[in-house]
Amino acid sequence: MISNRESKFIKSLQLKKFRQLENQFVVEGAKNVLELLKSGLEVIKVFATTDFMAKHKELLSNHHELISETKEADLKKAGSFSANNAALALVKIPDETKIDTSQSILAFDRIKDPGNLGTVIRIADWYGFKQIVCSSESVDCYNPKVISATMGSFARVRVHYTDLAELLDQSEHVYGTTLQGDNIHKLKFQEPAVVVFGNESEGLSEDLKPYLTQEVFIPGYGSAESLNVAVSTAVFCDNFRRLLKA
Amino acid sequence: MISNRESKFIKSLQLKKFRQLENQFVVEGAKNVLELLKSGLEVIKVFATTDFMAKHKELLSNHHELISETKEADLKKAGSFSANNAALALVKIPDETKIDTSQSILAFDRIKDPGNLGTVIRIADWYGFKQIVCSSESVDCYNPKVISATMGSFARVRVHYTDLAELLDQSEHVYGTTLQGDNIHKLKFQEPAVVVFGNESEGLSEDLKPYLTQEVFIPGYGSAESLNVAVSTAVFCDNFRRLLKA
> Which of B219, B222, B235 comes nearest A125 by C-beta?
B222
- For the stretch A91-124, pLDDT in tens is 999 998 899 999 999 999 999 999 999 999 999 9
Between the two ends of chain A, the Cα-to-Cα distance in Å is: 54
Alpha-carbon distance of A40 to A42, in angstroms, equals 6
Please report the ipTM that was assigned to this predicted complex.
0.93
pLDDT value at residue B82: 67
**CB-based contact A223 B156, cutoff 8 Å:** yes
B4-92 is classed CATH 3.40.718.10: no
Q: Which of B72, B212, B217, B194 is nearest to B132 (CA)?
A: B194
Alpha-carbon distance of B205 to B198, in angstroms, equals 7
Chain A positions contacting chain B at CB under 8 Å are 115, 119, 122-130, 151-153, 156, 185, 218-228, 230-231, 234-235, 238-239, 241-242
Q: Give which of A223, A229, A237, A240 to mutate to test B binding, by max B Cβ within 10 Å.
A: A223
Alpha-carbon distance of A215 to A148, in angstroms, equals 32
- For the stretch B79-138, pLDDT in tens is 887 667 899 999 999 998 899 999 999 999 999 999 999 999 999 999 999 999 999 999
Give the domain ranges of chain B.
4-92, 105-242
> Which of B122, B224, B242 comes nearest A153 by C-beta?
B224
Residue B17 CA, chain-centre distance (Å), reads 19
Greater confidence (B70 vs B141) lies with B141
**CB-based contact A152 B225, cutoff 8 Å:** yes
The DSSP 8-state label assigned to residue A228 in this structure reads: -
> Which of B123, B130, B219 comes nearest A231 by C-beta?
B123
Residue A177 pLDDT greater than 70, yes or no: yes
Q: Give which of A238, A240, A241 to mutate to test B binding, by max B Cβ within 10 Å.
A: A238
pLDDT value at residue A245: 79
pLDDT value at residue B78: 87
Give the gap in angstroms from C-alpha B239 to the nearest C-alpha of chain A. 9
The CATH class, in words, for A105-242 is alpha beta
CB-defined contacts A:B, below 8 A: 102
